Structure 1
Amino acid sequence: MEHPLTREEIAALPQGDIRLLHSDVAQHLLASKELARVAYVAADGTPRVFPMLFHWTGEEVVLSTFHPARKIAALRARPDVAITVDAAATPPQALLVRGRAEVTDVEGIAPDYRSALRRYAGSDEAGDAQVASVDHPGVRMARIAVRPTWVGVLDFRTRFPGGSTAADFDARGQQA
């Protein structure tokens, strides 16, 4: 069994290392009520970004959508995606994930959708009530699972865009 990384070890990881999922920022955002913003290529070849509820299983970011959403066919045809979960705080925090979407058809309500609604609604009861409002005979969903292959974390305190330092970030836009 691999030992957990210390905060110092996590802070030293380069952007792209999937072990950044264990950082405090990533764990906070994965447990938050922030929406995932999913970037993919639509059937017409143009880029799309779509906000979605998500559920983190500990290994996959799982998004659920109702049939016949157009993104289902688009993700099957071009499964490479980028996902951002971010908090508009000061300073902002962002979790950046890249991976391939695996789309599975589900008859009825996807269990991960129920889990996501419980978290976003604030309680199991409130989430279950929201599920009940859309759970009708013949409902079909798609489970979109993304296993991270690249992870970035930005907190604008210790981790900055492009791997720059705090001093580099502070000096942005200044003449050398």
Structure 2
Amino acid sequence: MTGSLPQGHLGLLDTPLAQELLTSRIPARMAFVWPDGTPRLIPTWFHWNGREIVMATYTAGPNVGIRHPAARIAALRAKPAVALTIDTDDAPPRCLTIRGIAQITEVDGLAEEYAAAARRYLGDDAEPILAQMDQPGTRQARIVVRPSWVGLVDFTTRLPSVLGGVLS
């Protein structure tokens, strides 16, 4: 039963609501710490592989104007603790929150998870965009987050703790 699992329990990832959010077209928002110690939050496409959230960003793409790695790569390598949220903007809001450590690997070409995410977010429009981006010299960083803590709030069966619901 979803309501009986406490905030933080990884079993929350197997609930229908979590699965709905993990397969939706809602971008994840990733929070991390910038080198100057201030917080940053960015929306990002992601792919859920059943164990990990995988996001990709460019480190090179000279044929499409990408001249340097995304700045967040250095920040994540220095301080890899992240928090992610996938949430709705309708009422009542539903929110999946994940904490974990980002691990970064680089791949030549497009990461397969990037292509999978593009197909989910863009549908039939993804293929021409992927073909344009997958050119010689393109390189991506795979940002992999294996959940270590999971929170789920739906404002119906799982309320925030301030409303007498689940504790974090």
> Does the pair score TM above 0.5?
yes
Unaligned runs of 5+ in 1: 1-8, 167-176
Quick check: 1:48 aligned with 2:40? yes
1:106-162 deviation line (CA, Å, top 9, x unaligned):
111011000000000124xx3222211212210111000000000000100011122
**Residue in 2 that maps onto 1:131:** 130
Aligned equivalents of 1:159, 1:145: Cα separation in 2: 28
1:58-78 deviation line (CA, Å, top 9, x unaligned):
000011000110111111111
Secondary structure of the equivalent of 1:122? helix
On the 8 A contact 1:108/1:137 being kept in 2, the answer is yes
Higher RCO (CA < 8 A, seq sep 6+): 2
Aligned equivalents of 1:128, 1:100: Cα separation in 2: 31
In the TM superposition, 1:17-56 aligns within 5 A as 17-56=9-48
Computing the radius of gyration from Cα coordinates, the structure with the larger value is 1
Unaligned runs of 5+ in 2: 60-68
Question: TM-score, normalized by length of structure 2?
Answer: 0.89
Aligned equivalents of 2:29, 2:155: Cα separation in 1: 20
In the TM superposition, 1:116-127 aligns within 5 A as 116-123=117-124, 126-127=125-126
**Residue in 2 that maps onto 1:69:** 70
> RMSD across aligned C-alpha pairs, in angstroms?
1.3
% of aligned pairs identical? Answer: 49
**Residue in 2 that maps onto 1:173:** none
Question: TM-score, normalized by length of structure 1?
Answer: 0.85
In the TM superposition, 1:46-125 aligns within 5 A as 46-67=38-59, 68-123=69-124
Per the TM alignment, residue 165 of structure 1 is displaced from its structure 2 partner at its CA by 3.4
**Stretches (4+) displaced over 3 A:** 163-166
